[in-house]
């Protein structure tokens, strides 16, 4: 089965703010050795996945429009599991505005079922990945708590949260105190989450690594900032994107790079100047692809930037009248989502823009590529009190 690909949502609704909370003591644990840089296991190669879509577009069809999902849900990630089912991570907001973590799964992409999870209100999942370190047979039989199959991260009032898949109906949770998590990636060495250590105004951006989803060890990225997204190249290079608050109180995009996940370099690039926060970042066959939006009063401007090493960046796509909500890839193609339209490129230089009526009125938050080459996207429409989820299936056209 090809490795699942996951699109990251730009948290325009302030999802990451849920996890800037006061927490207690950090659970110390051991992680991967800094002398042995992790290699990406979910990063695409030029020959991985379904055939490249560079010669054609993608035909999208909406599959569900609110049915089977709880009231006021929000989706943060979508992926296909080793059991063939498709899984969505996110949250449900109650009448008081309190969020509670939620996972849904589907066998046929038509009907969705919410998994059972015993977590209190005030929690949410922001990223989900397939954990390849568990033998396939163990996954099919139902992995025991802590051994994965899937892993997801997020937060609660108690601290950073890690969820491990027991089976399609059950998840088990773990609190990593003194932390908040905003994104997750996986390598041969295990899981890597980014967020804040000692969350709050004086919190420090950090990465946590764990070989088994149970024992997490942190490394500080910088003195200040809020990481929102992480990507990992096949050679073990990490890139983390987020924001810092400048002297006048406004958010400015921040990017950090590391060859081992321990020692970090702040990226200084004229191409990043003037951009606001970003939560959409992927390693693709074209390199690291970063989506950002510029704060402009009365209008939005979306920007796609590309880098082969995480240090030198170039602007690849500018969208003057739209905001980018998510990005992903399939085969060798990068896919960017805006309001009712997409952009697609095999080289992150030449882009094919397409108007997609099926997406109009919705915010696409995540996308994944299935083993059979189809694409699945999840998004929502409506406000805080009447939000509804929707899912789409995309097929590459000649």
The DSSP output letter for 287 is E
> What pLDDT is recorded for position 264?
97
User: Is 379 within a domain?
Assistant: yes
User: Is 185 within a domain?
Assistant: yes
CA pseudo-torsion sign 113, 116, 117, 123 = positive
Q: How many domains does the chain have?
A: 1
User: Is 214 within a domain?
Assistant: yes
User: Is 146 within a domain?
Assistant: yes
Look at the pTM and tell me if it is higher than 0.85: no
What is the side-by-side order of every strand in the sheet holding 179-187?
179-187, 190-197, 204-210, 217-220
User: Which tokens in the block code for residue 340?
Assistant: 């009712």
> What pLDDT is recorded for position 166?
65
User: Is 341 within a domain?
Assistant: no
User: Is 345 within a domain?
Assistant: no
Write out the residue range of the structural domain in which residue 139 sits.
Answer: 8-278+357-396
Q: Model confidence over 158-182: pLDDT tens digits?
A: 889 988 776 666 777 888 988 999 9
Burial of 311 per CB tally in 10 Å (0-12, 13-18, 19+):
middle
User: Which tokens in the block code for residue 134?
Assistant: 């568990």
Nearest to 76 by CA among 87, 62, 65: 87
Q: Model confidence over 92-123: pLDDT tens digits?
A: 988 888 889 999 999 999 999 998 777 768 88
Q: What is the CATH number of the domain that holds 207?
A: 2.120.10
- Whether the per-residue pLDDT at 390 is higher than 90: the answer is yes
User: Is 297 within a domain?
Assistant: no
Q: Model confidence over 183-201: pLDDT tens digits?
A: 999 988 889 999 999 988 8
**Residues in Cβ contact with 309 at an 8 Å cutoff, skipping those fewer than 6 apart:** 237, 257, 287
Q: Model confidence over 35-65: pLDDT tens digits?
A: 334 545 443 333 333 333 343 689 999 998 8
**CB atoms < 10 A from the CB of 143, how many?**
21
User: Is 351 within a domain?
Assistant: no
Chain centroid to CA 135: how far?
A: 24
Percentage of the chain exceeding pLDDT 70 = 78
């Amino acid at each position: 089965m090809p490795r699942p690909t996951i699109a990251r949502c730009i948290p325009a609704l302030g999802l990451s703010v849920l996890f800037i909370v006061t927490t207690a003591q950090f659970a110390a644990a051991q992680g991967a050795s800094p002398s042995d840089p992790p290699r990406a296991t979910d990063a695409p190669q030029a020959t991985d996945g379904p055939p490249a879509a560079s010669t054609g577009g993608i035909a999208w069809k909406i599959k569900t429009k609110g049915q089977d999902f709880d009231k006021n849900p929000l989706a943060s990630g979508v992926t296909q599991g080793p059991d063939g089912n498709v899984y969505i991570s996110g949250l449900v907001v109650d009448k008081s505005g309190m969020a509670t973590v939620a996972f849904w799964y589907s066998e046929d992409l038509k009907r969705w079922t919410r998994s059972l999870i015993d977590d209190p209100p005030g929690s949410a999942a922001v990223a989900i990945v397939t954990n390849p370190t568990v033998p396939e047979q163990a996954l099919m039989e139902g992995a025991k708590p802590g051994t994965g199959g899937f892993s997801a991260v997020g937060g609660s009032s108690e601290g950073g949260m890690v969820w491990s898949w027991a089976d399609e109906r059950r998840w088990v949770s773990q609190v990593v105190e003194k932390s908040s998590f905003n994104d997750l990636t996986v390598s041969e060495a295990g899981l890597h989450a980014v967020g804040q250590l000692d969350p709050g105004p004086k919190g420090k951006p950090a990465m946590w690594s764990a070989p088994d989803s149970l024992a997490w060890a942190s490394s500080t990225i910088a003195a200040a900032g809020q990481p929102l997204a992480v990507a990992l190249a096949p050679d073990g290079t990490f890139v983390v994107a987020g924001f810092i608050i400048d002297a006048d109180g406004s958010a400015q995009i921040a990017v950090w790079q590391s060859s081992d996940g321990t020692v970090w370099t702040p990226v200084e690039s004229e191409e990043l100047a003037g951009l606001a926060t970003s939560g959409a970042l992927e390693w693709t066959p074209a390199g690291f692809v970063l989506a950002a939006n510029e704060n402009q009063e009365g209008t939005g401007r979306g920007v796609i930037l590309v880098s082969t090493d995480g240090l030198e960046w170039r602007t690849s796509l500018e969208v003057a009248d739209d905001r980018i909500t998510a990005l992903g890839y399939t085969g060798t193609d990068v896919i960017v989502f805006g309001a009712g339209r997409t952009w697609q490129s095999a080289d992150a230089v030449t882009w094919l823009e397409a108007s997609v009526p099926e997406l109009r009125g919705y915010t696409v938050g995540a996308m994944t590529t299935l083993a059979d080459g189809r694409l699945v996207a999840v998004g929502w429409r409506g406000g805080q009190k009447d939000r509804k989820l929707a899912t789409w299936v995309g097929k590459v056209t000649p």
